[in-house]
Structure 1
Protein backbone atom coordinates (compact mmCIF):
# COMPACT_ATOMS: atom_id res chain seq x y z
CA UNK A 1 0.00 0.00 0.00
CA UNK A 2 1.05 3.59 -0.70
CA UNK A 3 0.32 6.22 1.97
CA UNK A 4 0.19 9.95 1.22
CA UNK A 5 0.22 12.39 4.12
CA UNK A 6 -1.29 15.85 3.88
CA UNK A 7 -3.73 14.68 1.21
CA UNK A 8 -6.19 17.47 2.06
CA UNK A 9 -3.62 20.02 0.89
CA UNK A 10 -3.06 21.10 -2.68
CA UNK A 11 0.05 19.06 -3.47
CA UNK A 12 -0.96 15.90 -1.60
CA UNK A 13 -4.44 15.84 -3.09
CA UNK A 14 -3.08 16.23 -6.61
CA UNK A 15 -0.62 13.39 -6.05
CA UNK A 16 -3.46 11.11 -4.91
CA UNK A 17 -5.51 12.01 -7.99
CA UNK A 18 -2.56 11.25 -10.22
CA UNK A 19 -1.88 7.95 -8.48
CA UNK A 20 -5.53 6.94 -8.93
CA UNK A 21 -4.88 7.02 -12.67
CA UNK A 22 -1.97 4.59 -12.25
CA UNK A 23 -2.72 2.17 -9.40
CA UNK A 24 -5.91 0.60 -7.99
CA UNK A 25 -7.65 2.69 -5.33
CA UNK A 26 -7.43 -0.12 -2.78
CA UNK A 27 -3.64 0.20 -2.90
CA UNK A 28 -3.80 3.83 -1.78
CA UNK A 29 -4.27 5.33 1.67
CA UNK A 30 -4.18 8.87 2.98
CA UNK A 31 -3.21 10.28 6.35
CA UNK A 32 -4.94 13.58 7.13
CA UNK A 33 -5.71 15.61 10.24
CA UNK A 34 -9.34 16.11 9.23
CA UNK A 35 -10.88 13.16 7.40
CA UNK A 36 -14.01 15.14 6.54
CA UNK A 37 -11.96 17.12 4.00
CA UNK A 38 -11.25 14.06 1.85
CA UNK A 39 -14.60 12.28 1.77
CA UNK A 40 -14.51 12.15 -2.02
CA UNK A 41 -11.30 10.10 -1.87
CA UNK A 42 -12.96 7.60 0.45
CA UNK A 43 -15.88 7.39 -1.98
CA UNK A 44 -13.39 6.52 -4.73
CA UNK A 45 -12.05 3.60 -2.69
CA UNK A 46 -9.01 5.21 -1.07
CA UNK A 47 -8.36 4.24 2.56
CA UNK A 48 -8.83 7.37 4.68
CA UNK A 49 -7.45 7.53 8.22
CA UNK A 50 -6.71 10.34 10.62
CA UNK A 51 -3.00 11.02 11.03
CA UNK A 52 -1.45 14.01 12.78
CA UNK A 53 2.27 14.82 12.82
CA UNK A 54 1.80 15.81 16.48
CA UNK A 55 0.36 12.39 17.37
CA UNK A 56 2.63 9.41 16.63
CA UNK A 57 -0.07 6.89 17.63
CA UNK A 58 -2.47 8.34 15.05
CA UNK A 59 0.24 8.09 12.39
CA UNK A 60 0.94 4.46 13.27
CA UNK A 61 -2.72 3.66 12.68
CA UNK A 62 -2.83 5.70 9.46
CA UNK A 63 0.41 4.07 8.20
CA UNK A 64 -0.61 0.48 9.01
CA UNK A 65 0.12 -2.05 6.30
CA UNK A 66 1.94 0.30 3.94
CA UNK A 67 5.36 -0.13 2.37
CA UNK A 68 5.64 3.13 0.44
CA UNK A 69 5.06 6.64 1.77
CA UNK A 70 4.93 10.21 0.57
CA UNK A 71 5.61 12.52 3.50
CA UNK A 72 4.43 15.98 2.52
CA UNK A 73 6.43 18.64 4.34
CA UNK A 74 4.86 20.37 7.33
CA UNK A 75 3.39 23.85 7.01
CA UNK A 76 5.20 24.80 10.23
CA UNK A 77 8.70 26.25 10.50
CA UNK A 78 11.92 25.50 12.32
CA UNK A 79 12.06 22.96 15.13
CA UNK A 80 8.30 22.35 14.96
CA UNK A 81 8.52 21.36 11.29
CA UNK A 82 11.57 19.21 11.93
CA UNK A 83 9.85 17.39 14.77
CA UNK A 84 6.86 16.74 12.51
CA UNK A 85 9.13 15.28 9.84
CA UNK A 86 11.18 13.19 12.29
CA UNK A 87 8.01 11.75 13.79
CA UNK A 88 6.56 10.84 10.38
CA UNK A 89 9.82 9.24 9.22
CA UNK A 90 10.26 7.29 12.46
CA UNK A 91 6.69 6.01 12.43
CA UNK A 92 6.88 5.07 8.74
CA UNK A 93 10.06 3.14 9.47
CA UNK A 94 8.41 1.28 12.37
CA UNK A 95 5.37 0.58 10.17
CA UNK A 96 7.59 -1.29 7.69
CA UNK A 97 8.42 1.35 5.09
CA UNK A 98 10.45 0.10 2.17
CA UNK A 99 10.59 3.49 0.42
CA UNK A 100 9.89 6.99 1.75
CA UNK A 101 9.31 9.93 -0.59
CA UNK A 102 9.55 13.45 0.82
CA UNK A 103 8.40 16.74 -0.71
CA UNK A 104 11.56 18.81 -0.45
CA UNK A 105 12.44 21.89 -2.49
CA UNK A 106 15.02 22.92 -5.05
CA UNK A 107 16.67 25.38 -2.63
CA UNK A 108 17.15 22.94 0.24
CA UNK A 109 20.34 23.99 2.03
CA UNK A 110 21.49 24.73 5.56
CA UNK A 111 22.98 27.95 4.21
CA UNK A 112 19.73 29.19 2.63
CA UNK A 113 18.42 32.65 3.48
CA UNK A 114 14.85 31.29 3.22
CA UNK A 115 14.10 29.40 6.48
CA UNK A 116 12.01 26.51 5.04
CA UNK A 117 14.99 25.48 2.88
CA UNK A 118 17.05 24.88 6.04
CA UNK A 119 14.24 22.65 7.37
CA UNK A 120 14.26 20.64 4.13
CA UNK A 121 18.04 20.16 4.26
CA UNK A 122 17.93 18.89 7.84
CA UNK A 123 15.02 16.57 7.01
CA UNK A 124 17.04 15.09 4.16
CA UNK A 125 19.75 14.25 6.70
CA UNK A 126 17.14 12.47 8.82
CA UNK A 127 16.10 10.46 5.77
CA UNK A 128 19.71 9.50 5.02
CA UNK A 129 20.12 8.04 8.51
CA UNK A 130 16.71 6.33 8.63
CA UNK A 131 17.95 3.06 7.14
CA UNK A 132 15.08 3.12 4.62
CA UNK A 133 15.34 3.76 0.89
CA UNK A 134 14.23 7.34 0.24
CA UNK A 135 13.63 9.84 -2.52
CA UNK A 136 13.74 13.54 -1.73
CA UNK A 137 11.74 15.39 -4.36
CA UNK A 138 13.61 18.65 -4.98
CA UNK A 139 10.49 20.45 -6.22
CA UNK A 140 10.73 23.72 -8.09
CA UNK A 141 9.33 26.82 -6.42
CA UNK A 142 5.54 26.72 -6.51
CA UNK A 143 4.10 29.06 -9.13
CA UNK A 144 1.23 29.80 -6.75
CA UNK A 145 3.68 31.83 -4.67
CA UNK A 146 4.29 34.09 -7.66
CA UNK A 147 0.55 34.74 -7.88
CA UNK A 148 0.57 35.60 -4.19
CA UNK A 149 3.38 38.09 -4.79
CA UNK A 150 1.46 39.55 -7.71
CA UNK A 151 -1.26 40.37 -5.19
CA UNK A 152 -3.65 43.08 -6.32
CA UNK A 153 -1.32 44.40 -9.03
CA UNK A 154 -3.86 43.48 -11.71
CA UNK A 155 -6.22 46.01 -10.15
CA UNK A 156 -3.75 48.65 -8.97
CA UNK A 157 -1.28 48.46 -11.84
CA UNK A 158 1.65 48.28 -9.39
CA UNK A 159 3.54 45.19 -8.25
CA UNK A 160 5.29 46.44 -5.11
CA UNK A 161 7.80 44.09 -3.47
CA UNK A 162 11.45 44.01 -2.37
CA UNK A 163 14.29 43.46 -4.80
CA UNK A 164 14.16 39.89 -6.08
CA UNK A 165 15.86 37.54 -8.51
CA UNK A 166 14.89 34.93 -11.12
CA UNK A 167 12.99 31.86 -9.93
CA UNK A 168 12.23 28.55 -11.63
CA UNK A 169 8.49 28.69 -10.97
CA UNK A 170 6.81 25.29 -11.27
CA UNK A 171 3.17 24.24 -10.94
CA UNK A 172 1.74 22.00 -8.25
CA UNK A 173 0.07 19.97 -11.01
CA UNK A 174 3.30 19.15 -12.84
CA UNK A 175 5.15 18.30 -9.63
CA UNK A 176 2.30 16.09 -8.42
CA UNK A 177 2.24 14.23 -11.72
CA UNK A 178 5.99 13.67 -11.53
CA UNK A 179 5.72 12.39 -7.96
CA UNK A 180 2.98 9.95 -8.96
CA UNK A 181 5.01 8.70 -11.90
CA UNK A 182 8.01 8.02 -9.66
CA UNK A 183 5.97 6.39 -6.91
CA UNK A 184 4.02 4.12 -9.23
CA UNK A 185 7.21 3.01 -10.94
CA UNK A 186 9.41 2.71 -7.81
CA UNK A 187 11.43 5.66 -9.03
CA UNK A 188 14.96 6.90 -8.30
CA UNK A 189 16.45 6.89 -4.83
CA UNK A 190 18.25 9.68 -3.01
CA UNK A 191 17.97 13.37 -3.79
CA UNK A 192 16.50 14.11 -7.20
CA UNK A 193 17.82 16.71 -9.61
CA UNK A 194 15.84 19.93 -9.29
CA UNK A 195 12.33 19.38 -10.67
CA UNK A 196 11.62 22.71 -12.32
CA UNK A 197 9.96 24.46 -15.17
CA UNK A 198 12.07 25.18 -18.23
CA UNK A 199 12.70 28.87 -17.56
CA UNK A 200 13.32 31.33 -14.75
CA UNK A 201 11.61 34.69 -14.39
CA UNK A 202 11.69 37.49 -11.84
CA UNK A 203 8.86 39.75 -10.70
CA UNK A 204 9.64 42.36 -13.35
CA UNK A 205 9.16 39.62 -15.93
CA UNK A 206 5.92 38.53 -14.31
CA UNK A 207 4.65 42.11 -14.33
CA UNK A 208 5.51 42.35 -18.04
CA UNK A 209 3.68 39.09 -18.77
CA UNK A 210 0.63 40.26 -16.84
CA UNK A 211 0.67 43.56 -18.74
CA UNK A 212 0.75 41.72 -22.05
CA UNK A 213 -2.05 39.35 -21.07
CA UNK A 214 -4.36 42.02 -19.65
CA UNK A 215 -3.53 44.83 -22.06
CA UNK A 216 -3.04 47.10 -19.05
CA UNK A 217 0.29 48.50 -17.83
CA UNK A 218 1.56 46.89 -14.63
CA UNK A 219 4.62 48.54 -13.11
CA UNK A 220 7.17 46.72 -11.00
CA UNK A 221 8.04 48.90 -7.98
CA UNK A 222 10.90 47.95 -5.65
CA UNK A 223 10.37 48.67 -1.96
CA UNK A 224 12.71 48.03 0.95
CA UNK A 225 12.70 44.83 2.96
CA UNK A 226 11.69 46.89 5.99
CA UNK A 227 8.70 48.44 4.21
CA UNK A 228 7.58 45.04 3.01
CA UNK A 229 7.91 43.47 6.46
CA UNK A 230 6.01 46.35 8.08
CA UNK A 231 3.19 45.88 5.57
CA UNK A 232 2.95 42.17 6.36
CA UNK A 233 2.83 42.86 10.09
CA UNK A 234 0.18 45.53 9.56
CA UNK A 235 -1.97 42.89 7.85
CA UNK A 236 -1.72 40.68 10.93
CA UNK A 237 1.00 38.26 9.86
CA UNK A 238 3.03 36.87 12.80
CA UNK A 239 6.64 38.07 13.00
CA UNK A 240 8.02 34.60 12.23
CA UNK A 241 6.04 34.45 8.99
CA UNK A 242 6.92 38.04 8.05
CA UNK A 243 10.60 37.25 8.52
CA UNK A 244 10.16 34.11 6.43
CA UNK A 245 8.78 36.09 3.49
CA UNK A 246 11.54 38.68 3.73
CA UNK A 247 13.96 35.74 3.69
CA UNK A 248 12.38 34.57 0.45
CA UNK A 249 13.33 37.81 -1.29
CA UNK A 250 16.84 37.67 0.19
CA UNK A 251 17.18 34.14 -1.18
CA UNK A 252 15.87 34.93 -4.65
CA UNK A 253 18.22 37.86 -5.13
CA UNK A 254 21.03 35.62 -3.87
CA UNK A 255 20.26 33.32 -6.82
CA UNK A 256 19.07 30.35 -4.76
CA UNK A 257 16.24 29.47 -7.16
CA UNK A 258 17.84 30.63 -10.41
CA UNK A 259 18.41 27.30 -12.13
CA UNK A 260 16.48 24.82 -14.23
CA UNK A 261 16.82 21.17 -15.14
CA UNK A 262 15.31 18.89 -17.79
CA UNK A 263 14.40 16.10 -15.37
CA UNK A 264 10.81 17.22 -14.83
CA UNK A 265 10.18 17.54 -18.58
CA UNK A 266 11.67 14.08 -19.13
CA UNK A 267 9.45 12.55 -16.44
CA UNK A 268 6.33 14.20 -17.84
CA UNK A 269 7.19 13.53 -21.47
CA UNK A 270 6.38 17.16 -22.29
CA UNK A 271 7.39 20.68 -21.42
CA UNK A 272 6.23 21.77 -17.94
CA UNK A 273 3.54 24.43 -17.68
CA UNK A 274 5.17 27.86 -17.96
CA UNK A 275 4.60 30.96 -15.87
CA UNK A 276 2.78 32.73 -18.67
CA UNK A 277 0.24 29.89 -18.85
CA UNK A 278 -0.20 30.08 -15.08
CA UNK A 279 -0.84 33.83 -15.27
CA UNK A 280 -3.24 33.44 -18.16
CA UNK A 281 -5.32 30.90 -16.21
CA UNK A 282 -5.29 33.05 -13.07
CA UNK A 283 -6.39 36.15 -14.98
CA UNK A 284 -9.18 34.22 -16.68
CA UNK A 285 -10.35 32.88 -13.31
CA UNK A 286 -10.46 36.36 -11.85
CA UNK A 287 -12.48 37.50 -14.79
CA UNK A 288 -15.20 34.93 -14.05
CA UNK A 289 -15.71 36.01 -10.43
Structure 2
Protein backbone atom coordinates (compact mmCIF):
# COMPACT_ATOMS: atom_id res chain seq x y z
CA UNK A 1 0.00 0.00 0.00
CA UNK A 2 1.15 3.56 -0.77
CA UNK A 3 0.56 5.95 2.13
CA UNK A 4 0.49 9.71 1.46
CA UNK A 5 0.57 12.15 4.36
CA UNK A 6 -0.91 15.63 4.24
CA UNK A 7 -3.35 14.46 1.60
CA UNK A 8 -5.78 17.35 2.08
CA UNK A 9 -3.12 20.04 1.67
CA UNK A 10 -2.20 22.01 -1.42
CA UNK A 11 0.50 19.59 -2.55
CA UNK A 12 -0.69 16.33 -0.98
CA UNK A 13 -4.19 16.53 -2.44
CA UNK A 14 -2.76 16.91 -5.93
CA UNK A 15 -0.32 14.03 -5.39
CA UNK A 16 -3.21 11.72 -4.49
CA UNK A 17 -5.24 12.87 -7.49
CA UNK A 18 -2.40 12.10 -9.90
CA UNK A 19 -1.58 8.86 -8.09
CA UNK A 20 -5.14 7.61 -8.53
CA UNK A 21 -4.66 7.98 -12.27
CA UNK A 22 -1.85 5.43 -12.05
CA UNK A 23 -2.77 2.89 -9.37
CA UNK A 24 -6.06 1.45 -8.03
CA UNK A 25 -7.71 3.32 -5.16
CA UNK A 26 -7.46 0.27 -2.92
CA UNK A 27 -3.66 0.50 -3.18
CA UNK A 28 -3.66 4.05 -1.76
CA UNK A 29 -4.01 5.20 1.84
CA UNK A 30 -3.87 8.70 3.25
CA UNK A 31 -2.78 9.99 6.63
CA UNK A 32 -4.56 13.23 7.53
CA UNK A 33 -5.17 15.22 10.67
CA UNK A 34 -8.86 15.74 9.88
CA UNK A 35 -10.45 12.67 8.32
CA UNK A 36 -13.68 14.55 7.53
CA UNK A 37 -11.79 16.64 4.97
CA UNK A 38 -10.82 13.41 3.16
CA UNK A 39 -14.36 12.06 2.87
CA UNK A 40 -14.25 12.39 -0.90
CA UNK A 41 -11.20 10.14 -1.05
CA UNK A 42 -12.83 7.58 1.22
CA UNK A 43 -15.82 7.53 -1.13
CA UNK A 44 -13.46 6.63 -3.97
CA UNK A 45 -12.07 3.64 -2.07
CA UNK A 46 -8.93 5.23 -0.61
CA UNK A 47 -8.14 4.19 2.96
CA UNK A 48 -8.40 7.26 5.18
CA UNK A 49 -6.94 7.29 8.68
CA UNK A 50 -5.99 9.99 11.14
CA UNK A 51 -2.28 10.67 11.40
CA UNK A 52 -0.58 13.62 13.04
CA UNK A 53 3.21 14.09 13.05
CA UNK A 54 2.88 15.84 16.42
CA UNK A 55 1.07 12.80 17.84
CA UNK A 56 3.28 9.86 16.76
CA UNK A 57 0.97 7.27 18.30
CA UNK A 58 -1.57 8.03 15.56
CA UNK A 59 0.94 7.19 12.83
CA UNK A 60 1.13 3.51 13.74
CA UNK A 61 -2.44 3.00 12.59
CA UNK A 62 -2.21 5.46 9.69
CA UNK A 63 0.88 3.75 8.23
CA UNK A 64 -0.23 0.15 8.81
CA UNK A 65 0.60 -2.10 5.85
CA UNK A 66 2.62 0.55 4.06
CA UNK A 67 4.89 -0.50 1.21
CA UNK A 68 5.82 3.11 0.56
CA UNK A 69 5.20 6.25 2.63
CA UNK A 70 5.36 9.75 1.18
CA UNK A 71 6.08 12.26 3.95
CA UNK A 72 4.91 15.72 2.90
CA UNK A 73 7.01 18.22 4.84
CA UNK A 74 5.44 20.04 7.79
CA UNK A 75 4.51 23.71 7.80
CA UNK A 76 6.52 24.35 10.96
CA UNK A 77 10.20 25.32 10.93
CA UNK A 78 13.18 24.62 13.12
CA UNK A 79 13.44 21.81 15.65
CA UNK A 80 9.67 21.26 15.67
CA UNK A 81 9.62 20.53 11.94
CA UNK A 82 12.60 18.18 12.05
CA UNK A 83 11.11 16.34 15.04
CA UNK A 84 7.81 15.88 13.19
CA UNK A 85 9.59 14.57 10.09
CA UNK A 86 11.66 12.20 12.22
CA UNK A 87 8.50 10.87 13.89
CA UNK A 88 7.01 10.15 10.47
CA UNK A 89 10.19 8.42 9.29
CA UNK A 90 10.32 6.29 12.43
CA UNK A 91 6.67 5.32 12.04
CA UNK A 92 7.18 4.39 8.39
CA UNK A 93 10.11 2.16 9.30
CA UNK A 94 8.13 0.56 12.14
CA UNK A 95 5.29 -0.17 9.70
CA UNK A 96 7.75 -2.04 7.48
CA UNK A 97 7.76 0.41 4.57
CA UNK A 98 10.25 -0.56 1.90
CA UNK A 99 10.77 3.05 0.79
CA UNK A 100 10.19 6.47 2.33
CA UNK A 101 9.74 9.50 0.11
CA UNK A 102 10.05 13.04 1.46
CA UNK A 103 9.15 16.38 -0.13
CA UNK A 104 12.42 18.25 0.24
CA UNK A 105 13.66 21.30 -1.68
CA UNK A 106 16.29 21.92 -4.32
CA UNK A 107 17.83 24.52 -1.96
CA UNK A 108 18.17 22.13 1.00
CA UNK A 109 21.45 22.90 2.76
CA UNK A 110 22.53 23.18 6.36
CA UNK A 111 23.94 26.70 5.99
CA UNK A 112 21.04 28.19 4.02
CA UNK A 113 19.94 31.73 4.81
CA UNK A 114 16.27 30.70 4.52
CA UNK A 115 15.02 28.90 7.63
CA UNK A 116 13.13 25.96 6.05
CA UNK A 117 16.16 24.81 4.06
CA UNK A 118 18.28 23.61 7.01
CA UNK A 119 15.19 21.70 8.18
CA UNK A 120 15.07 19.88 4.84
CA UNK A 121 18.79 19.17 5.03
CA UNK A 122 18.45 17.79 8.56
CA UNK A 123 15.53 15.58 7.52
CA UNK A 124 17.50 14.24 4.57
CA UNK A 125 20.35 13.46 6.94
CA UNK A 126 17.96 11.63 9.28
CA UNK A 127 16.63 9.62 6.36
CA UNK A 128 20.14 8.69 5.27
CA UNK A 129 20.86 7.33 8.74
CA UNK A 130 17.56 5.44 9.03
CA UNK A 131 18.74 2.49 6.89
CA UNK A 132 15.54 2.31 4.89
CA UNK A 133 15.66 3.11 1.17
CA UNK A 134 14.49 6.68 0.65
CA UNK A 135 13.91 9.28 -2.00
CA UNK A 136 14.17 12.98 -1.15
CA UNK A 137 12.26 14.97 -3.74
CA UNK A 138 14.39 18.06 -4.37
CA UNK A 139 11.44 20.21 -5.40
CA UNK A 140 11.77 23.64 -6.96
CA UNK A 141 10.47 26.70 -5.14
CA UNK A 142 6.67 26.79 -5.26
CA UNK A 143 5.55 29.23 -7.94
CA UNK A 144 2.44 30.01 -5.89
CA UNK A 145 4.72 32.12 -3.68
CA UNK A 146 5.17 34.75 -6.39
CA UNK A 147 1.63 36.24 -6.25
CA UNK A 148 2.19 36.76 -2.52
CA UNK A 149 5.24 38.93 -3.30
CA UNK A 150 3.47 41.30 -5.66
CA UNK A 151 2.02 43.62 -3.05
CA UNK A 152 0.10 46.40 -4.82
CA UNK A 153 2.05 46.04 -8.06
CA UNK A 154 -1.07 45.67 -10.19
CA UNK A 155 -2.58 48.86 -8.75
CA UNK A 156 0.53 51.05 -8.59
CA UNK A 157 2.60 49.66 -11.47
CA UNK A 158 5.52 49.10 -9.07
CA UNK A 159 6.66 45.72 -7.80
CA UNK A 160 8.30 46.76 -4.54
CA UNK A 161 10.43 44.17 -2.74
CA UNK A 162 13.98 43.70 -1.40
CA UNK A 163 16.83 42.83 -3.72
CA UNK A 164 16.52 39.24 -4.88
CA UNK A 165 18.11 36.63 -7.11
CA UNK A 166 16.95 34.04 -9.64
CA UNK A 167 14.59 31.33 -8.40
CA UNK A 168 13.46 28.13 -10.12
CA UNK A 169 9.74 28.80 -9.63
CA UNK A 170 7.87 25.50 -10.12
CA UNK A 171 4.15 24.72 -9.98
CA UNK A 172 2.53 22.59 -7.30
CA UNK A 173 0.73 20.58 -9.97
CA UNK A 174 3.94 19.64 -11.78
CA UNK A 175 5.66 18.61 -8.56
CA UNK A 176 2.61 16.61 -7.46
CA UNK A 177 2.48 14.75 -10.75
CA UNK A 178 6.20 13.98 -10.53
CA UNK A 179 5.74 12.59 -7.00
CA UNK A 180 2.91 10.39 -8.24
CA UNK A 181 5.10 9.10 -11.07
CA UNK A 182 7.84 8.18 -8.60
CA UNK A 183 5.41 6.47 -6.23
CA UNK A 184 3.95 4.41 -9.06
CA UNK A 185 7.41 3.60 -10.45
CA UNK A 186 9.17 2.45 -7.28
CA UNK A 187 12.88 2.91 -6.76
CA UNK A 188 13.60 5.26 -9.64
CA UNK A 189 15.82 7.41 -7.43
CA UNK A 190 17.78 6.45 -4.33
CA UNK A 191 18.62 9.31 -2.01
CA UNK A 192 18.14 12.88 -3.17
CA UNK A 193 16.75 13.37 -6.65
CA UNK A 194 18.26 15.82 -9.12
CA UNK A 195 16.56 19.23 -8.86
CA UNK A 196 12.91 18.88 -9.82
CA UNK A 197 12.39 22.33 -11.25
CA UNK A 198 11.08 24.33 -14.14
CA UNK A 199 13.84 24.89 -16.73
CA UNK A 200 14.36 28.60 -15.99
CA UNK A 201 15.31 30.58 -12.90
CA UNK A 202 13.64 33.99 -12.81
CA UNK A 203 14.01 37.03 -10.56
CA UNK A 204 11.49 39.74 -9.75
CA UNK A 205 12.69 41.85 -12.68
CA UNK A 206 11.53 38.96 -14.86
CA UNK A 207 8.26 38.80 -12.93
CA UNK A 208 7.64 42.50 -13.56
CA UNK A 209 8.16 41.85 -17.27
CA UNK A 210 5.70 38.95 -17.22
CA UNK A 211 3.10 41.09 -15.45
CA UNK A 212 3.60 43.83 -18.03
CA UNK A 213 2.92 41.38 -20.85
CA UNK A 214 -0.08 39.79 -19.13
CA UNK A 215 -1.80 43.02 -18.12
CA UNK A 216 -0.75 45.36 -20.90
CA UNK A 217 0.30 47.85 -18.22
CA UNK A 218 3.92 48.63 -17.40
CA UNK A 219 5.01 47.14 -14.08
CA UNK A 220 8.36 48.43 -12.83
CA UNK A 221 10.60 46.61 -10.40
CA UNK A 222 11.51 48.76 -7.37
CA UNK A 223 14.11 47.55 -4.86
CA UNK A 224 13.39 48.50 -1.27
CA UNK A 225 15.54 48.36 1.85
CA UNK A 226 15.43 45.07 3.76
CA UNK A 227 14.62 46.67 7.11
CA UNK A 228 11.91 48.88 5.61
CA UNK A 229 10.28 45.86 3.99
CA UNK A 230 10.33 43.85 7.22
CA UNK A 231 8.94 46.83 9.14
CA UNK A 232 6.15 47.15 6.58
CA UNK A 233 5.19 43.50 7.03
CA UNK A 234 5.08 43.87 10.79
CA UNK A 235 3.02 47.06 10.47
CA UNK A 236 0.48 45.10 8.44
CA UNK A 237 0.16 42.41 11.10
CA UNK A 238 2.78 39.84 10.12
CA UNK A 239 4.45 38.43 13.26
CA UNK A 240 8.03 39.67 13.64
CA UNK A 241 9.49 36.16 13.59
CA UNK A 242 7.70 35.33 10.35
CA UNK A 243 8.78 38.62 8.78
CA UNK A 244 12.40 37.86 9.62
CA UNK A 245 12.05 34.39 8.14
CA UNK A 246 10.62 35.84 4.92
CA UNK A 247 13.48 38.28 4.44
CA UNK A 248 15.75 35.25 4.66
CA UNK A 249 14.20 34.04 1.41
CA UNK A 250 15.54 37.15 -0.33
CA UNK A 251 18.95 36.81 1.32
CA UNK A 252 19.17 33.19 0.15
CA UNK A 253 18.06 33.99 -3.39
CA UNK A 254 20.71 36.71 -3.65
CA UNK A 255 23.29 34.07 -2.81
CA UNK A 256 21.97 31.90 -5.63
CA UNK A 257 20.56 29.19 -3.38
CA UNK A 258 17.41 28.74 -5.50
CA UNK A 259 18.89 29.25 -8.95
CA UNK A 260 19.62 25.59 -9.69
CA UNK A 261 17.59 24.05 -12.49
CA UNK A 262 17.62 20.74 -14.33
CA UNK A 263 15.78 18.52 -16.80
CA UNK A 264 14.65 15.81 -14.34
CA UNK A 265 11.17 17.20 -13.72
CA UNK A 266 10.30 17.47 -17.40
CA UNK A 267 11.73 14.00 -17.98
CA UNK A 268 9.45 12.56 -15.29
CA UNK A 269 6.44 14.41 -16.65
CA UNK A 270 7.18 13.59 -20.27
CA UNK A 271 6.33 17.19 -21.18
CA UNK A 272 7.43 20.75 -20.55
CA UNK A 273 7.08 22.18 -17.08
CA UNK A 274 4.42 24.80 -16.41
CA UNK A 275 5.97 28.25 -16.90
CA UNK A 276 5.67 30.91 -14.22
CA UNK A 277 3.71 33.05 -16.67
CA UNK A 278 0.92 30.45 -16.68
CA UNK A 279 0.82 30.38 -12.87
CA UNK A 280 0.62 34.16 -12.73
CA UNK A 281 -2.03 34.32 -15.45
CA UNK A 282 -4.21 31.92 -13.45
CA UNK A 283 -3.63 33.92 -10.26
CA UNK A 284 -4.67 37.13 -12.01
CA UNK A 285 -7.95 35.58 -13.13
CA UNK A 286 -8.75 34.71 -9.52
CA UNK A 287 -8.22 38.22 -8.19
- TM class by shorter-chain length? over 0.9
Distance in 1 (CA, whole Å) between partners of 2:152 and 2:51 is 36
Count of matched residue pairs: 286
Equivalence for 2:284? 283
Distance in 1 of aligned mates of 2:131 and 2:239: 37
Aligned mates of 1:8, 1:232 — CA distance in 2 = 29
TM-aligned CA deviation for residue 44 of structure 1: 1.1
1:235 offset after TM fit, Å? 2.2
SS at match of 2:17: helix
Shift of 1:156: 2.6
Distance (Å, rounded) in 1 between the aligned partners of 2:56 and 2:261:
37
Q: Distance in 1 between matches of 2:195 and 2:54?
A: 30
Q: In structure 1, what is the equivalent of residue 228 of structure 2?
A: 227
1:76-225 matches, cutoff 5 A: 76-186=76-186, 187-225=188-226
Which residue does the alignment assign to 1:65?
Answer: 65
TM-score (norm 1): 0.97
| CA deviation after TM superposition for structure 1 residue 212, in Å | 1.0
> How far apart are 1:108 and its partner, in Å?
0.1
- TM superposition shift of 1:85: 0.5
Q: Distance in 1 between matches of 2:155 and 2:44?
A: 41
In the alignment, the residues of structure 2 paired with residue 136 and residue 13 of structure 1 have an alpha-carbon distance, to the nearest angstrom, of 19
Summarize the alignment of residues 248-263 of structure 1 with structure 2, pairs less than 5 Å apart. 248-263=249-264
Quick one: distance in 2 between partners of 1:82 and 1:239?
22
Q: Secondary structure at the match of 2:165?
A: coil
Q: How does 1:22-41 map to 2 (within 5 A)?
A: 22-41=22-41
TM-score (norm 2): 0.97
Q: 1:269 and 2:283 equivalent?
A: no
Deviations, residues 55-78 of structure 1 (Å, cap 9, x unaligned):
111111111111100000010010
Structure 2's unaligned 5+ residue stretches are none
Q: Which moved more, 1:38-47 or 1:112-121?
A: 38-47
Deviations along 1:218-270, one digit per CA (max 9) or x if unpaired, are 12111111111112212222222111101000000111111210011111111
Deviates more, 1:16-25 or 1:271-280: 271-280
Matches within 5 A, 1:226-245: 226-245=227-246
Q: Residues of 2 paired with 1:86 and 1:168: CA distance? A: 28
CA distance in structure 2 between the partners assigned to 1:4 and 1:116 by the alignment: 21
Deviation, structure 1 residue 161: 0.7
Cα distance in 1, alignment partners of residues 29 and 236 from structure 2: 38
Gap runs ≥5 in structure 1: none
Moved more, 209-218 or 120-129: 209-218
Give the SS at the match of 1:36: helix
Q: What do you get for the CA RMSD once the two structures are aligned? A: 1.0
